[in-house]
Amino acid sequence: MQAEPRKSLVGEEYEVEIGPVAHGGHCIARTSEGQVLFVRHALPGERVVARVTEGEQGARFLRADAVKILDASKDRIDVPCPFAGPGRCGGCDWQHAKPGAQRRLKADVIAEQLQRLAGLTPEEAGWDGTVVPAEGDKVPAGQVPSWRTRVQYAVTADGRAGLRRHRSHEVEPIDHCMIAAEGVSELGIEKRVWTGMDSVEAIAATGSQDRQVILTPKPGARLPLVELDRPVSVLRVDERSGGVHRVHGRPFVRERADGRTHRVGGGGFWQVHPQAADTLVTAVMQGLLPRKGDMALDLYCGVGLFAGALADRVGEQGAVLGIESGKRAVEDARHNLDEFDRVRIEQGKVESVLPRTGITEVDLIVLDPPRAGAGRKTVEHLSSLGARRIAYVACDPAALARDVGYFRDGGYRVRTLRAFDLFPMTSHVECVAILEPAAKGL
């Protein structure tokens, strides 16, 4: 006999006490029946009316929005952005919280993930428990730092630019994104009609005047003539191959960090916050303390940010191997690091390429894996190479904590951990963990 479908609870409202923050930009509450609610637009300690946005009767948890605040937290402020709030733009998670409170919430998430997934307290991880704002981002409550140098706008059926709603393909049309960097805002993407486009990505490089727009057309649509408020190069995404092709202007932007210029082509990965690249290079190099003659690995190396910093510091007697899966990123990395004779960049997945290199011993390792983390198999391999220190750059505290646990199994301990608020107004946070052989810590 087929089971009856569960009753949807979408639209149901519950008056609840809000508990602790959870990973993902929401807080935890429980209905009077004990069902778990993941509530957005709320803060710990508040009493709210939560309206269910996803979930069924008997589900392990429900998702909900706080639609009425009955007892507000002292950390709550009026939302500065006119497009934020329940059912609206999903780009920001914490517009309703004071800037300092946002950083405390992120710190609570890091601490919870470290404890739950790695069994570590902040003290055991060498972390002071703070999330540090980037230079220039310490703004008063009610103000929003304009930091996002890369914004991907979705496009409505009638050609208006907007941003996706939370966990939805629906588009919230906007006339200005408050967290967009000035170089993005001055292009005026929101002011024109993008007929036939599925998305429009705007990029404003850090350290140069390069501006780029990447268009993704709907199937069969023709590209519009792009006339924006500032000079801009235009690329398009091929609907069949997914590749990125130049329409006019440079096929790359020039980004500046660690005293070097880096070519980043085809909308390739670069840190989104204008201070992020320099902040992370400084934290990684201070943690690793490279020496002349060191052999170093830069894994998931992108266009060579950390590989170049390492090459500068290990000198002509040292050597750096970078591994990156993206073909265009590898081309850019080789171009960016062409001056270094002792730097090699290999293309492919780390778990496939690293074993083929035959490398059995290194001095230093940097890894900046994607959001899912490096995983047990890769961490086991890295732990076998005897590195003096390992720098793990993480944009997801859960992945970091899982991998730190795997490194512990491989004989490594966390020496220091630093956390940086490089995604203000959102739930995201960047961490740099420095690991060393556990025997050194005894």
Active-site residue list? 395
For residues 306 and 285, what is the distance between their CA atoms, to the nearest angstrom?
A: 9
Strands (E), 276-382: 295-299, 319-324, 343-347, 364-367
CA separation (Å) from 172 to 90, 91, 208, 218? 9, 10, 31, 18
Q: Which residue has the tokens 């002349």?
A: 292
Q: What torsion do the CA atoms of 55, 60, 64, 70 make, to the nearest 10 degrees?
A: 130
Q: Report the alpha-carbon angle 372-373-379, nearest 5.
A: 145
Residue 56: its H or E element: none
Do residues 75 and 95 make contact, with C-beta atoms less than 8 angstroms apart?
Answer: no
**Cβ-based neighbours of 435, under 8 Å, separated by 6 or more:** 389, 390, 391, 392, 404, 407, 412, 413, 414, 415
Provide φ and ψ at 44, rounded to 5°: -55, 140
Q: Which of the 8 DSSP states describes residue 115?
A: I
CA distance 337 to 262: 9
